[in-house]
């Protein structure tokens, strides 16, 4: 079970489950269970572990002193977090990892991660691709947050998602409207009002998490 899930991770994509199982016999790791709303790592905790989501859902959050929360990403089964903090010169996590629901996580520390990367070139190549994709996504989020108006943020995000999903008509939102608002660093009521205005103006059509764009 665990090895078929590991095939979905960025580290092990394209590697047979039996090869993954054999690789992990050479490294030490722990599997831990967390309850819903439990914090795995807090911002400024010592960055010791990379985490892999075996089940459940976790959120990567940036918390600010005024109480504002920005959703950096939301990870389901096969999601990986903490690798940048663990491998950087910084010794602390820059974000908080929070369990949205009951979750089971595989945790591996830096020495064992480096050993894993050295054991198989496929794992190393996958890891480097994941790192590059993470940087690209971060640049996209910076560009999104730099948009001056709520409508510009919505349009930028939806067009980016449409390209990513290669969607001809409908775009499937990967998270709830609450999480979407946090991701764009806006309030949920403001987002709801602007979406309603755009819907009334015939610019888009919303059906729960499905959105049809009429902009282009």
The distance of Cα 171 from the centroid of its chain, to the nearest Å, equals 18
Q: Where are the domains of the chain?
A: 2-131, 144-213
| Cβ(76)–Cβ(52) below 8 Å | no
CB 81 within 8 A of CB 75: yes
pLDDT at site 178: 86
| Bridge partners for 39 per DSSP | 98
Q: What is the value of pTM for the model shown?
A: 0.72
Residue 102 has pLDDT above 90, yes or no: yes
- Distance set, CA 143 to CA 26, 107, 152, 175 (Å): 41, 32, 11, 20
pLDDT in tens, 29-51: 999 999 999 999 999 999 999 99
**CATH 1.10.10.10 corresponds to the domain 144-213:** yes
Q: What is the pLDDT of residue 53?
A: 95
pLDDT tens by residue, 141-157? 889 989 999 999 999 99
The whole-angstrom separation of Cα 45 and Cα 27 is 24
Least confident of 35-44, 46-55, 72-81, 160-169: 160-169
Write the CA distances from 205 to 20, 156, 181, 199, 200, integer angstroms.
Answer: 44, 16, 18, 5, 9
pLDDT value for 176: 86
CATH architecture label of 2-131: Sandwich (2.60)
């Amino acid at each position: 079970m665990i090895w078929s899930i590991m095939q979905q991770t960025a580290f092990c994509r394209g590697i047979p489950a039996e090869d993954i199982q054999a690789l992990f016999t050479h490294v030490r790791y722990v599997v831990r269970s967390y309850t819903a709303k439990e914090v795995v790592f807090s911002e400024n905790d010592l960055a010791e572990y990379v985490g892999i989501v075996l089940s459940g859902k976790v959120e990567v959050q940036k918390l600010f002193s005024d109480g504002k929360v920005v959703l950096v990403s939301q990870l389901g089964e096969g999601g990986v977090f903490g690798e940048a903090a663990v491998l950087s010169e910084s010794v602390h996590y820059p974000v908080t990892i929070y369990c949205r629901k009951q979750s089971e996580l595989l945790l591996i520390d830096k020495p064992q991660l480096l050993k894993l990367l050295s054991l198989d070139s496929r794992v190393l190549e996958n890891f480097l691709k994941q790192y590059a994709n993470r940087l690209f996504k971060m640049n996209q989020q910076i560009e999104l947050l730099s948009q001056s108006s709520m409508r510009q943020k919505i349009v930028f995000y939806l067009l980016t998602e449409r390209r990513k999903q290669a969607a001809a008509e409908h775009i499937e939102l990967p998270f709830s409207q609450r999480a979407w608002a946090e991701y764009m660093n806006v309030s949920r009521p403001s987002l709801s009002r602007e979406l309603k205005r755009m819907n009334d103006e015939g610019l888009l059509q919303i059906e729960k998490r499905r959105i049809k764009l009429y902009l282009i």
